[in-house]
Structures are given as C-alpha cells and as structure tokens.
Structure 1
Amino acid sequence: MMQEIEFIKFNPTENMTVLVKTKHLKEEYHQIASRLMAYDSLYAEQVGFIEESKNAGADSSLQMAGGEFCGNACMSLAAFVASGKGLPHGYSTTILMEVSGTDELVRCDVKNEMGLYRCSITMPIPARIKMQMWVVDGEELPITMIYYQEAVHAVLEAGQLDSSLRRSAETLARLINSSYEANLVGVLLYDPETHELAPLIHVPDVNSMMWERGCGSGTGSLGAYLAWKQRRCISLQVKQPGGEMHVTADWDEGSITAVRIEGTVGIVAEGKAFIHMVEEVI
C-alpha cells in the first residue's frame, strides 16, 4: 500500500530532521520513520510527527517515532511554527510545545536571523546521574550514566575518535539497551581538551543506530554531566561534526536546577514523499 506523506525537512546543526505534517495511525509511526530516514527516501537522522496539542497552553505538539525526547526536533518544530507566524527578520518569539519523552511543556525562544532560526530551548533535567562500570569488549570502563524519564545517556571521556572506539560505543549502546527499558540510548564520547562531542544515538523501536552530526539532547546531557562532575554552573560551546551548539547548566545547593541549549535551525525542504507500507503479519 502506497502512502503520501507531507513533510518538512530541517537542518539543526546538520542533525537532519524530518517532521511529518499529515495524520497517521500511531502504530504506523515506526514504519513511516524507517522509510523516510532511508538513503533512497528523504535521508534523515530522525523523524517526528506533528500532532494536535491536548494542552491549551501549547502552540504545537510533537511525537517522535520512538517516543523519545529530541532537542533538535523540538527546535525544528519551534522554527516551523515561528515561520508560519511570519516572524520578521531580527524579531524573536516564544513557542511552547507538548513533546514526547517529557511531561512538561517545552519552551523555545526563537529569533529569525536572515532565514535561519536561532533557538534556545529548555531541556529536561536528569532524574539521576551516577558512575557505573561496564565491561565492553573485555575492558572495564567507567561510564557516567544519565537517566531521564524514558531515555538513558552514557558519557565517556575519550580522546580522538577511531574505528575501535566507535565499535566499543555501539557495543555499549546495545548493552545498555539490554539492561534498561528506554525509548532512546545515547553514548556520548567527549574530549575534555577540545570540547568535542561525538554522539551515538540508538532508538530501539525504529532500529536505528546513528552517529549524529549534531545532537541537541546529547549536548544537554553533556552540560548536565559537567555541572554534576564539577559541582558548579556550566556554560560551554560544544563542538560536533555538524557545527557548534551552546549549553548552560545551572547548579545550586547540590543539584542541577536547569539545562538549556542553543543552536540554529534551517528549513531546507517541504513537500510530499511516497512510501510503500508493508502490512505487519500477526
């Protein structure tokens, strides 16, 4: 069965994101996302679905295909809503969104900068952060685990990224997925000397394992990790393969009180995609 999908494609720090405008059954989200992300289709790193908000205070609602929270997808939706409102160059607006992966309304401040949208967004605060030892490929590694409502991120301080380190990170993502029920598992390789971040994102429900070029949620987790580790407020430019993002994390009386990330979003395409849906055999 062929389905016609109306979409918008965004470029938030080269973390190519597709948001679907047409209405579909939730049980179809995984299959639609997998097809749209494919090289022979729209070729993106993640897919979300724009829904009608149940909260009267929200401007829009976003459901990611895997039920995860995604910072860059939130910024993409905020940029799209601001664009639809005709936000003039040099002006700012605030967008409130209902999003998957958190029960709180997400606030994004958006400024139109010559067609690029600079977005600053509040991120979920981790429920828990702890150090844990993991045996990966026969080697015991100290990993900082960052737990959210429906996601787990793991931070490993490392130097230059090579093929061996990539394989170990992918193995770790699968190990974490087998140990915890989560909509998303992130492995964040961080070089404290250069402030470079290499984010690996695994979304089990969509069967994706992606080395992202720019990860908003990973940037937020890195800020939370550094604030927790150093017991102080953090403000940092984070270098990623697709560009830089800024993170601030507030620390007060022994806990993280706020996390915020900032980056730019470009709207690069809008149109229709045609995908073949395969009926699932029960």
Structure 2
Amino acid sequence: MEQEINFVKLNPTQNMTILVETTHPTKAHKDIATRIMSYDSVYAEQVGFIEEPINYKADAHLQMAGGEFCGNACMALAAFITSKQELKHNHVKKILLEVSGTDSLVECEVRRVEDEYYCQITMPIPKEIKQTIISHVGNKLDVTLVDYGEFVHIVMNINDINERVKEEAQSLAKSLSLTLNVSLIGILLYNQDSNELEPLIYIPHLDSMVWERGCGSGTASLGSYLAWKNKKRTITHVKQPGGIITAVANYQEGKLISLKIEGFVGIVAQGKAFITV
C-alpha cells in the first residue's frame, strides 16, 4: 500500500534528519521511518514525527521513530518551527518542545543567521556517570557509562579511531542491547588529545546502527563526562565528522546542574515522499 508522507529534511551538523508532518499511528512509525530514511527514498540518519503536544506550554511534540531522545532532532524541529515565522537575521525565538525519551520540556533558543539557524537547547541531565569495566569478547574495557535511564552512552577514550575499533564498537552496542532495556545505546569514541568524537548510535527497536556525522546527545554526554571528570563547569567545542557542536555543562557542589548544546541547523528540502509499507 502506497502512502503519501509530508516531510521536511534538515541538516543539524550533517546528522541528516527527516521530520514527518503528516499524522500516523505510533505503531506505523517504525515501518515509515525505515522506508523513508533508506537510500532509495529521501535518505537520512534518523526520523522524527511532529505531533500535537499534551502540555499546553509546548509548541510541538517530537516523537522519534524509536522512542528515543535526540538532541539534534530537537534543534531541527525548533529551527523548522522558527522558519515558518519569518525571523529576521540575528533575531532570536524561544521554542518549547515535548520530546520522546524525556519527561522534561526541552527549551530551545533559535537565532537566525542568514539562511541557517543557530540553536541552543537544554538537554536531559544524566542520572548517573561512572567509570566501569565492561567484559566483551574476552576483553575488559575501561569505559565511562553515562546513564539517562531510558538511554545510555558509553564514552571510550581512543587515541587511534580506525576501522577495527569501529567494528568492535558496533559489536559492543549489539551485545549491550541484549542486557540493557533502553531505547538507545551510544558508543562515543573520543580522542581527548584532539577533542574529536566519532559517535555510533544504535536503536534496538529499529535495529538501526549509524555512525553519525554529528551527534547532539553524544556531545551533551561528552560535556557531562568532562565536567564530572574535572569537577567544574565545562564548555567544549567537539569536533565531529560533520562539524562542531558545543556542549555547556554546569557543575556545582559535586553534581551537574544544567546541560546545553549549541549548533547550526539548515533546512535542506521539503515536500512529499511516496512510500510502500
């Protein structure tokens, strides 16, 4: 059966994101997302669905296809909403979003910069950050676990990020999905000398594994980890394959008290997709 899907495609630091404007039942999200983000369709790394919010304070509800939370998709939706309001260059708009994967409203500040949008958004604060040892295929890995409850990120300090290391990261993500009941597992390969990040995002519900060119939630987790490690407020400009995303993590009296990320979003395309599901 062919369906007509209204969509907009956005570019938050090359983490190509499709937002679906038409309304569809939640049970159909997985199939629609799998089809529309494939190479022979619109093609992207992730899909979110724009819905009516329950909270009257929110401007929209963002439901990710896998039920996960996604910082870049939040920035993308905030930019898209702002684009409809014909904001002038350098003017700022504030947007509030309901988002899957978190119970808190996400605050977004969007500034128009020529034909792009510079977004700063509040991010969920991790429930726990800890050093731990993970046993995987006979190896004991010394990693940092950034745990949000509904999703987790694993920070791995790696000096040489090569194909063998990436394959091991993919295997680790799959393995962790068998024991962790979470909507998303991120493996963050981090070179602390160059401040470079290679983020792997695995969504078990969709069986979607992507080396993202820019990861907002991964950047937030890295900022959290660095603030926790250094026991102080940290601003870090994280280099990723698609560009730079900035994390601002406030740390006081032994804990994180706020977390934000910042980055550019461009609108790439808007129209109709025809998919068979």
TM, length-normalised to structure 1: 0.97
Indicate the SS of the match to 1:217. Answer: helix
Q: 1:178, CA displacement in angstroms? A: 1.2
Q: 1:137, CA displacement in angstroms? A: 3.2
Paired residues, number: 277
For 1:258, the aligned partner's letter is S
The aligned residue for residue 204 of structure 1 is 204
Q: Using the alignment, how far apart are the partners of 1:105 and 1:140 within structure 2?
A: 38
For 2:149, the aligned partner's letter is Q
1:275 maps to 2:264: no
For 1:143, the aligned partner's letter is V
Contact map agreement 1:18 1:48 (CA 8 A) in 2: yes
Q: 1:122, CA displacement in angstroms? A: 0.4
For residues 212-231 of structure 1, what are the structure 2 equivalents within 5 Å? 212-231=212-231
Alpha-carbon RMSD across the aligned residues, in angstroms, is 0.8
1:72-109 Cα shifts (integer Å, max 9, x gaps) = 00000000111111111110010000000110110010
Contact map agreement 1:183 1:203 (CA 8 A) in 2: yes
Q: Using the alignment, how far apart are the partners of 1:149 and 1:118 within structure 2?
A: 29
Residue ranges of structure 1 left out of the alignment (5+ in a row): 278-282
Indicate the SS of the match to 1:31. Answer: helix
Give aligned-pair identity as a percent: 51
Q: 1:257, CA displacement in angstroms? A: 0.6
Q: 1:138, CA displacement in angstroms? A: 2.2
The aligned residue for residue 263 of structure 1 is 263
The aligned residue for residue 50 of structure 1 is 50
For 1:56, the aligned partner's letter is Y
Q: Using the alignment, how far apart are the partners of 2:30 and 2:87 within structure 1?
A: 33
Residue ranges of structure 2 left out of the alignment (5+ in a row): none
Indicate the SS of the match to 2:267. Answer: strand
1:16 maps to 2:26: no
1:164-213 Cα shifts (integer Å, max 9, x gaps) = 10011111111221121000000000000000000000011111000000
For 2:62, the aligned partner's letter is L
Q: 1:135, CA displacement in angstroms? A: 2.1
Contact map agreement 1:101 1:149 (CA 8 A) in 2: no
- Structure 1 runs (4+) deviating above 3 angstroms are none
Indicate the SS of the match to 2:164. Answer: helix
Q: Using the alignment, how far apart are the partners of 1:269 and 1:180 within structure 2?
A: 36
The aligned residue for residue 7 of structure 1 is 7
The aligned residue for residue 134 of structure 1 is 134
